[in-house]
Amino acid sequence: MFNFSFTNFYDFLTMDGHGVYVWTVYLVTFALIAVSFLIVRRKLNVFKRKLKNASE
Partner 1 sequence: MLTSFIHRFSSPKSFVEVTALFFPYVMFLGFLCLALGWIWGLAFAPEDAIQGNSYRIIFLHVPASIMAQLIYFFMSICALMHLVWRVKLAAYLIKSAAPVGVLITFIALFSGSIWGIPTWGTWWQWDARITSTLILFIMYLGIITLHSSFSNAEKADRLMSILVVVGVVNIPIIKKSVDWWSTLHQPASISISDGASIDPSMLYPLTISILGMALTMIALGILVSKFYILTREKNKKWVQSYV
- The site for partner 1 (CB under 8 A) is made up of 1-6, 12, 15-19, 21-22, 24-26, 28-29, 32-33, 36-37, 40-41, 43-44, 47-48, 51-52, 55
Complex with partner 1: residue 10 or 17, whichever CB lies closer = 17
Complex with partner 1: residue 5 or 10, whichever CB lies closer = 5
At 6, give phi and psi (nearest 5°). Answer: -120, 160
What's the Cα-to-Cα distance from 45 to each of 3, 13, 36, 52, 54, rounded to whole Å? 45, 39, 14, 10, 14
Query: CB 10 → partner 1: shortest distance, Å?
Result: 13
DSSP 15: G
